Copies of this chain bind each other. A is one copy, B any other.
C-alpha cells in the first residue's frame, strides 16, 4: 500500500454502472516525510475515511477484494486510516496531533 492524504471528493453522474454507490476520494500520495509527492489518484473508500485523513491505499487487483469493492472494477481503494507511523524509533505521524 501507499501512504496518502485525502484532499477531496469526485462526483460523476455518467459512469460505469458498477461504480454506483461507491465514494470516490481524491488522494495525494505522500512521501516518507508526509509531504505530497505530486502524484494524485482517485480511490474508492472502503473504510469511511474523511477529508484530510492520512490513509493507506492499495492498487491493482487487490483493490477489488475489500468487502466494499468485491467484484467491482476498481483499481485503487482506501484500505485503512492511519493512526500512527513509527520510524527509526520515533513517532513520525500521530493522527491525534495531525491537522
Chain A positions near chain B (C-beta within 8 angstroms): 1-3, 7-19, 24, 26, 28, 31-32, 38, 40-43, 46-49, 51, 56, 58-67, 71-77, 79-89, 92
Contacts and interface: CB of A to CB of B under 8 A. Distances in A.
Copies of this chain: 5
A8 B88 CA distance: 6
A24 B60 CA distance: 18
Nearest to A47: B14
Contact of A82 (B12, B46, B79): B12
Of the listed residues A9, A10, A28, A89, the one surrounded by the most CB atoms of chain B closer than 10 A to its CB is A10
B18 A65 contact: yes
CB-CB nearest 3 A-B residue pairs: A8-B87, A15-B80, A12-B80
